[in-house]
Amino acid sequence: MMAPLRLSRGDIEPVLVTGLLRRDFTHERAALCARLFVEASLDGVYSHGLNRFPQFIGMVERGVVRPDREPSRVRSTGAVETWDGRLGPGNLNAWACMGRAIEMARDRGVGVVSLRNTNHWMRGGSYGLRAAGSGCIGVCMTNTQPNMPPWGGREAAVGNNPLVIAAPNEPYPILLDMAMSQFSYGKMNVHRQRGEKLPCPGGYDLDLQMTDEPGLILESELATPMGYWKGSGLAILIDLLVATLSGGSTTAEIGERGEEYGISQVFIAFDLGRVGEKAESRRVLEAIKSSLRRTPPLREGGAVRYPGQGTWQRRQQNEREGIPVDPGIWQRILQTQG
Amino acid sequence: MMAPLRLSRGDIEPVLVTGLLRRDFTHERAALCARLFVEASLDGVYSHGLNRFPQFIGMVERGVVRPDREPSRVRSTGAVETWDGRLGPGNLNAWACMGRAIEMARDRGVGVVSLRNTNHWMRGGSYGLRAAGSGCIGVCMTNTQPNMPPWGGREAAVGNNPLVIAAPNEPYPILLDMAMSQFSYGKMNVHRQRGEKLPCPGGYDLDLQMTDEPGLILESELATPMGYWKGSGLAILIDLLVATLSGGSTTAEIGERGEEYGISQVFIAFDLGRVGEKAESRRVLEAIKSSLRRTPPLREGGAVRYPGQGTWQRRQQNEREGIPVDPGIWQRILQTQG
C-alpha cells in the first residue's frame, strides 16, 4: 500500500465541489456536501469521508441518489415532524433535518424530525456535531440494509443501524458515533492485513462458531452485533423507531431492493439553553469529564477518554500534518472532474 | 438451594401491600408499588422483582427512600419538563413521570420528562410497558452509582445505566430493557454456581486480562461494558443526558454518597396515534417481526426472537404455573408484615 498523500482542506474541497457541480448539485449544495466529506476525513472517519466519495458519485450517476431533490415536510405535530427525503443526497437531507430539529427545539425544548426515503448519511457524527455546535444535545439514528445476523440467527436480517449522541463541549463536542456491529468489515480487513486477531470475538466462522479471527468472519460475512444480544436488540428497536416515526422503510424492506436506498432516520435535538440552566450543564459535563480523567488506566501509559476525545486529537493532527488521502482514492476523485 | 415456591399474584400482592402500608405508603401507592414488584417477577425479572423487595423495605426503614414523597415539577418548556423525585420510591416516581410524558405526547407528539433526586426504578421495563400499553413508543434511561470500569480504565467510574425502549405490539409489547454491562453480577454468579464459563468475555481477572470465567470477574469486580468500548461510550452519554436534562446528579456525584440514591432519569413517549398513521405502524411492526421469524436459526431447534418475546413466554408460564419465589426471600417478605 502506498503512503497516503497529506492534503489540506483547501486542496480537496474545490476538487469535490467541481465534481458535484458537474452532476447537477447547486453551488450551495455542492459546497456543503464537499465540506461534510472533507470534515469526516479531517476527523479521521476516512471510511465515510473521502474514501466513500467515488462510490457516492457513482450512485448519483446511476440515478440512485438525486442531487437536486430537497426534503419536503409530510406532517407536523407539536414537537415532531416527518419529512420525505425524496431520495436526495443522504448527507444534505440529514443536515437539513437536524437543522430543523434544532429550530424546533428553540421554543419547544426538544425537536424531533423523522425522515423517510433518504440515502446513506455518510458520517453520522456530522449531524450530532451540528446539534452540539448549536448548544443542543443531538441524537441521530438511521437504519441500513440488512448486514448483520440478529442474535440467534445465521443470516443477515438486521442493519448495523448507527446511533449518534453528541453534546456541547469545548474544544470539541462529546461525540458518540457507533454502529450496532462490534466491528465493521473495513476494520476487520485492517486487522487481517496486519495479521492480528480482533481484541474480542466479532463474528462467526463458516462452522458458526464465534471467533476473533478477522479472516474467518470476512469469509462467513457473519459479524456479531456489539454486545451480542444487546446490540442485536438495539438494532431492532432503532429500526422500529426510525421506520415507525417516519412511516418509511424498515431494514427488511430496504433489503428487498438489492441496493441500499430509501432508508429511514430520526434526528432529535434538546436545546440546553431552553431546557435547563447553563451552570447545570457545565457542572454535569465537568463531573463526567473529571471522573474519567481521574480513573486509573488499565494499561500503563493508557488513558480513559470521553467519546469524541480521540476524534478531536485526530482532527488536530490532520490540521497540522494534512489530511491523509489514499493515492488510489485521490486518483478516482480527480477523475470525477472529467 | 431449595426449590422455589410457586405463588400466584393473589398470594403475593396483599402481603407486599401490608408491608408497605406499615411503612407510611398510602393505599393507592402501596397497591401500585406492590403490583410493579409482582409484575417484574411475573415477567421473569426476579432480580428486580420480589428478590429486591426486602432491600427496598430496608431503604425505606433507613429513611433513604421516602414513602410519602411525590415528584414535583421544577420547570416546563414546550415538550420537555423537569421533575424532582424528592427521594421518593423510585418505581412510583418513574411510573408517574412516564405517565406525564405520555400525557404530554398526546398533543405534542412527543413528551420528555426528566427526573432528578429519584431512586432506583427497580425494573426499568415497567415504564416502557406503560408507554407501549398507551399506544406510545417509550424510551427510559437512568444513571446509577459507579459500578463498571469505563473502557481503558481499571476502576468502576461509570454506571451500568440501563436503557429501555418499548413499542406497542400484541400480545405483548416489543421490549428492550438492557443495562450497559455485558453481564450483571447476578448473572455471573449463576454461571459460576453451575460451573459454566460465560458465553463471551465479560470482565477482567485480577491480572487485568479479559476473561470468560465468571468467578475471576466476581473476584476483581471489573465487569466489562456490553460491546466493550461501545457500551462504555453509551453509558457515559446516558449519564450526560439524564443529568443534564434533569439538572440532577451524575454517576460520579452519586458515587460520592456511599449509597445509591438521588439518581437521574429521563422518560420519553412518542404517541404513535398522534405522530403517524396506524396502518404505517402496523406495517413496520409486521415487517420487522416477519423478517426475524424468517431468519434461519444459528443452532438447530433455535429461533430468532424479537426483544420481549422471551419475556412474554415467561409471563405465560408463570401465569400458568405460579410465580417462582425463592423460599428465603419469601420468608424475608413475610417478616415485613410484623
Question: B48: domain CATH number?
Answer: 1.10.1530.10
Q: What is the CATH number of the domain that holds A214?
A: 3.30.60.50
DSSP state of B116: E
pLDDT score of A1 = 59
> Is the pTM here over 0.95, yes or no?
yes
- Rounded-to-integer distance, Cα B16 and Cα B37, Å: 9
**Domains of chain A: total:** 3
pLDDT score of A279 = 87
Residues of B in contact with A155 (CB under 8 A): 295-296
Q: Search chain B and give the residue with CA nearest A231.
A: B227
Task: Give the contacts of B300 (CB within 8 A, at least 6 positions apart).
Answer: none
Q: Inter-chain contact B150–A304, Cβ cutoff 8 Å? A: yes
The answer to whether residue B207 sits within a structural domain is yes
Residues of B in contact with A272 (CB under 8 A): 244
The answer to whether residue A93 sits within a structural domain is yes
A72: enclosing H helix or E strand: strand A72-77
Confidence of residue A133 (pLDDT cuts 50, 70, 90): very high
Closest CB to A150 among B110, B176, B304: B304
Residue B91 identity: N
pLDDT score of B185 = 86
Closest CB to B250 among A77, A252, A284: A284
The answer to whether residue A300 sits within a structural domain is no
- Rounded-to-integer distance, Cα B193 and Cα B188, Å: 9
Kindly state whether residues B54 and B97 are assigned to the same domain: no
Residues of B in contact with A309 (CB under 8 A): none
Kindly state whether residues A209 and A239 are assigned to the same domain: no
Kindly state whether residues A203 and A175 are assigned to the same domain: no
Confidence of residue A186 (pLDDT cuts 50, 70, 90): confident
Q: Tell me the nearest-neighbour CA distance from B299 into chain A, angstroms.
A: 7
Kindly state whether residues B41 and B161 are assigned to the same domain: no
- B122 and B111 in contact (C-beta within 8 Å)? no
Kindly state whether residues B25 and B105 are assigned to the same domain: no
Q: What is the pLDDT of residues A153-182, one digit of tens each?
A: 999 999 999 999 999 999 999 999 999 999
pLDDT score of A200 = 87
Kindly state whether residues B237 and B106 are assigned to the same domain: yes
Please give chain B's pLDDT, 338 residues, in tens: 579 999 999 999 999 999 999 999 999 999 999 999 999 999 999 999 999 999 999 999 999 999 999 999 999 999 999 999 999 999 999 999 999 999 999 999 999 999 999 999 999 999 999 999 999 999 999 999 999 999 999 999 999 999 999 999 999 999 999 999 999 988 898 899 999 999 888 999 999 999 999 999 999 989 999 999 999 999 999 999 999 999 999 999 999 998 999 999 999 999 999 998 888 999 999 999 999 999 999 999 999 999 999 999 999 999 999 999 999 999 999 999 97
Residues of B in contact with A243 (CB under 8 A): 284, 287-288
Q: Inter-chain contact A108–B250, Cβ cutoff 8 Å? A: no
Q: Inter-chain contact A178–B80, Cβ cutoff 8 Å? A: no
What are the beta bridge partners of residue B220?
A: none
User: What is the pLDDT averaged over residues A296-324?
Assistant: 96
Burial class (CB in 10 A: 0-12, 13-18, 19+), B186: exposed
A176: enclosing H helix or E strand: strand A174-178
User: What is the pLDDT averaged over residues A90-118?
Assistant: 98
- B136 and B102 in contact (C-beta within 8 Å)? yes
Kindly state whether residues A119 and A163 are assigned to the same domain: yes
Q: Tell me the nearest-neighbour CA distance from A165 into chain B, angstroms.
A: 7
- A16 and A37 in contact (C-beta within 8 Å)? yes
Question: Which residues form the domain of B43?
Answer: 9-65+324-335
Q: Tell me the nearest-neighbour CA distance from B66 into chain A, angstroms.
A: 25
Kindly state whether residues B83 and B232 are assigned to the same domain: yes
The answer to whether residue A248 sits within a structural domain is yes
The answer to whether residue B306 sits within a structural domain is no
Q: What is the CATH number of the domain that holds B259?
A: 3.30.1370.60
- On the question of pLDDT at A304 being above 70, the answer is yes
Closest CA to A334 of A40, A69, A114, A50: A50
pLDDT score of B1 = 59
Kindly state whether residues B186 and B264 are assigned to the same domain: no
Q: What is the ipTM of this complex?
A: 0.98
Kindly state whether residues A145 and A114 are assigned to the same domain: yes
- Rounded-to-integer distance, Cα B143 and Cα B246, Å: 12
Kindly state whether residues B142 and B239 are assigned to the same domain: yes
Q: What is the number of other CB atoms lying within 10 angstroms of the CB of residue B55? A: 10
Full DSSP string of A290-319: HHHHHSPBSSTT-----TTHHHHHHHHHHH
pLDDT score of A338 = 78
A48 is catalytic: yes
State the Cα angle at A145 between A53 and A90, rounded to 5°.
Answer: 40
Residue A267 identity: F
Distances (CA, A) of A7 to A97, A319, A330, B93: 31, 9, 10, 55
- If you count DSSP H runs as helices and E runs as strands, how many of each does chain A have, helices first? 13, 11
The answer to whether residue A303 sits within a structural domain is no
Q: Which of B27, B48, B120, B191 is catalytic?
A: B48
* DSSP percent split of chain A into helix, strand, coil, nearest 5: 45, 20, 35
Burial class (CB in 10 A: 0-12, 13-18, 19+), A64: middle
Q: Inter-chain contact B292–A153, Cβ cutoff 8 Å? A: yes
Q: Inter-chain contact A228–B167, Cβ cutoff 8 Å? A: no
User: What is the pLDDT averaged over residues A275-280?
Assistant: 86
Closest CB to A270 among B155, B157, B245: B245
- In the listed set B191, B224, B257, which residue is the last one of a domain according to the structure? B224
Kindly state whether residues A40 and A99 are assigned to the same domain: no
Full DSSP string of A189-223: HHHHHTTPPPSS--EE-TTS-EE--HHHHHHHT-B
Q: Search chain B and give the residue with CA nearest A264.
A: B284
DSSP state of B336: T
The answer to whether residue B158 sits within a structural domain is yes
Q: What is the number of other CB atoms lying within 10 angstroms of the CB of residue B63? A: 9
The answer to whether residue B302 sits within a structural domain is no
Q: Inter-chain contact A304–B153, Cβ cutoff 8 Å? A: yes
Q: What is the number of other CB atoms lying within 10 angstroms of the CB of residue B286? A: 13
Q: What is the pLDDT of residues A232-249, one digit of tens each?
A: 999 999 999 999 999 999
Closest CB to B174 among A240, A272, A274: A240
